[in-house]
């Protein structure tokens, strides 16, 4: 079964745009689980422009499924938060300060020593680690040398080229097969939606988890949050 983890950053973006606590981010985390999500994802950034660090602490208290925290592990504040909260999974993303959204994976070869050291910190705390990587076989091979438990394939190029889906999926299948061969778990995320998710899953049937936020929350404006969660889960069958 491929698990659906719902990224609720956009709920926090809406709340922060007006001030106050409407919509309530913690309630959104409760509700997406109640509506069938297999997990909740958050991606706190140093400027807290969407998810705030205290949101992460409050969400941890109500999690009944899996909690995934994404972020830039070169920021000590992020590392400290993850070690304090102890989510089920931490996804390490090579964001730069002020970056609008994640737009590339780790160079696992150039950063091997650093990644191996920081991954060991999280694993010693009992936290599963996933590395955000591009669909490149040697980056997957490099990831395996860091001690990570999983990789998360950065799927923006697949989504952007979906009109030529048979070609767009090729590097992802190659990277996914290499991950399986090396004993790595496999996640995926970024710009996956109701149009392209099913084809991705059909071609990579052993996918462990997808993390979806922007598209699902956008669809929920028209479809309702419960309906959107259920529709996304159906794409993963």
List, by residue number, the catalytic residues.
43, 70, 190
CA atoms within 13 A on the CB side of 226: 3
Residues 6+ apart with CB under 8 A from 172: 135, 153, 155, 158, 188, 200, 203, 204
Distance between CA atoms of residues 161 and 28, nearest Å: 32
How many residues belong to the chain?
A: 237
Q: Which two tokens stand for residue 101?
A: 């959204």
Q: How far is CA 167 from CA 85, 203, 229, in A?
A: 41, 12, 28
210 strand-pairing partners: 4, 188
CA distance 60 to 68: 10
Q: Is the dihedral of CA 61, 73, 233, 236 positive or negative?
A: negative
3-state helix, strand, coil in the chain (%, to 5): 45, 15, 35
């Amino acid at each position: 079964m491929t698990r659906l983890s719902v990224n609720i950053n956009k709920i926090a973006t809406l709340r922060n745009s007006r001030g106050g606590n409407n919509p309530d981010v913690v309630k959104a985390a409760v509700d997406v689980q109640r509506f069938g999500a297999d997990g909740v994802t958050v991606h706190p950034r140093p400027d807290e422009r969407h998810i705030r660090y205290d949101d992460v602490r409050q969400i941890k208290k109500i999690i009944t499924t899996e909690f995934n925290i994404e972020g830039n592990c070169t920021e000590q504040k992020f590392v400290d938060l993850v070690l304090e909260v102890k989510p089920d999974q931490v996804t390490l993303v090579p964001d730069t300060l002020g970056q609008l959204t994640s737009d590339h994976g780790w160079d696992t070869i150039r950063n091997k020593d650093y990644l191996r050291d920081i991954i060991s910190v999280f694993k010693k705390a009992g936290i599963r680690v996933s590395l955000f990587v591009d669909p490149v076989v040697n980056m997957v091979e490099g990831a395996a040398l860091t001690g990570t438990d999983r990789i998360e394939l950065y799927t923006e190029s697949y989504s952007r080229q979906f009109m030529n889906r048979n070609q767009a999926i090729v590097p992802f299948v190659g990277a996914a097969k290499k991950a399986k061969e090396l004993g790595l778990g496999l996640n995926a995320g970024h710009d996956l939606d109701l149009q392209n998710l099913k084809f991705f899953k059909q071609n990579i049937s052993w996918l462990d988890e997808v993390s979806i936020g922007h598209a699902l929350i956008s669809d929920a404006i028209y479809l309702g949050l419960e309906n959107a969660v259920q529709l996304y889960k159906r794409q993963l069958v």
